[in-house]
Amino acid sequence: MFSSIEKSGSVQIVKRNFSWGEDLTRIIRVVENHFEDFNGNGFYPHPQEEGLQRELLAIPTLRDLGEAIGSQNVRGVAITDLGLSHLSEAHRNAVLYAIALTRGFPTSTDQRTKRVAWDVRAKKVDPQTARFTTFSERVGSAEMHTDSSFYPMPEEQFLLYVVAAARCNGGESLLIDVNDIYQELQKTREGRIAYSLLTTREVPFRVPAVYAAGDDKVEYYLAPVFHHDGGLKIRWRYDSIMKGLATRPDLSSPELVDAVELVNEIVERDAPRFQRHLPDDTLLWADNHHTLHGRAVYTDPDRHLIRIRISNTPNARRIGPSGISAD
Ligand SMILES: [Fe+2]
């Protein structure tokens, strides 16, 4: 399926070496048959997603691609020259939805519209309202984080597809393996204390106010930053934790704040990271429980990516909101 280009830490960079042939048309036809409208080309979690998944997995190229992504045994895979750039927005997003469905169950990014395929690009915003935009809706950098960190069931995986890379030498995609954060923390006494605290204590992750159900109600979710479950996992969003601790001082302490600050320094500065300018028509698959992601500074307002979050659990069995457009 792939020609290997290089491996950078736990991220594999490959190039597509298969032909989609007639299967691209078959995929689009199956998806079209299940969606009366494409929901603004964003789709939504299909009510019969397990049946649709089975139908799509009968298409050999799609099945093999899903298996190839899963068999890399890495935390991220970037597939260049995916071969979708000639498609219309609706058909391209249909294929991306189908690829996501081979790996699990795509979730809604937006609770109001239920969109699954989310456009990551700068919005043309009025400076007056700029404070309401999120990482995915503005130029600049995005701090390292895991998606849906403030909800009960962060999705296990996500896909990013590059429609138009930044033309300004910026906007590189960043990934950090949780094991590299752990290794950094083990180097110092303060680091070992921080790791121990953030493994045993739950911290409040504040839900960004603009997305919380009621503006007058502060919402947060309690969870440890590090968690062992068949390997070390992480849940991280620095601003959400700091705001959570500010609203729940009873859960805070100077030691805990020091631990959060230390991890923030490590993830923003010290830990080794995958940092790559992904070209147009690249698909990045990443593990949202074992890596942090972010992006480097960019200024090109035409940079455009599509993001789809994927749960290992069907949507009908998920607990809590399935995600938000932030991050
Ligand atoms: Fe994100």
Residue pLDDT, tens place only, 4-23: 889 999 999 999 999 999 99
Residue 32 reports pLDDT greater than 60: yes
- Give the Cα separation of 96 and 54 in Å (integer): 16
Residue pLDDT, tens place only, 175-194: 999 999 999 999 999 999 99
Confirm if 213 and 230 have CB atoms less than 8 A apart. no
- Give the Cα separation of 95 and 61 in Å (integer): 12
Give the chain's domains with CATH numbers: 2-171+274-317 (3.60.130.10), 178-269 (no CATH)
Please tell me the distance between residue 59's alpha carbon and the centre of ligand 1 in angstroms. 30
What is the structure's pLDDT at 298? 81
User: ∠61-65-68 over CA atoms, to 5°?
Assistant: 135
What is the structure's pLDDT at 132? 44
Q: How many CA atoms lie within 13 A of 121 on its CB side?
A: 17
- pLDDT: is 265 or 297 the higher one? 265
Please tell me the distance between residue 33's alpha carbon and the centre of ligand 1 in angstroms. 31
Please tell me the distance between residue 195's alpha carbon and the centre of ligand 1 in angstroms. 23
Map residue 104 onto helix, strand or coil: coil
pLDDT band at 127 (very low <50, low <70, confident <90, very high): low
Please tell me the distance between residue 167's alpha carbon and the centre of ligand 1 in angstroms. 21
Please tell me the distance between residue 134's alpha carbon and the centre of ligand 1 in angstroms. 10
Which helix (H) or strand (E) covers residue 62, if one does?
helix 60-70
Return the bridge partners of 203, or none. 223
Return the bridge partners of 259, or none. none
Please tell me the distance between residue 23's alpha carbon and the centre of ligand 1 in angstroms. 31
Average pLDDT of span 22-44: 94
Q: Which two tokens stand for residue 244?
A: 């959570």
Please tell me the distance between residue 193's alpha carbon and the centre of ligand 1 in angstroms. 28
In the DSSP assignment, the letter for residue 225 is: S
Please tell me the distance between residue 275's alpha carbon and the centre of ligand 1 in angstroms. 15
Average pLDDT of span 32-61: 94
Among residues 3, 1, 13, 4, the alpha carbon closest in space to that of 275 is found at: 13
pLDDT band at 124 (very low <50, low <70, confident <90, very high): low
Angle between helices 23-34 and 89-103 (to 10 degrees): 90
Please tell me the distance between residue 326's alpha carbon and the centre of ligand 1 in angstroms. 7
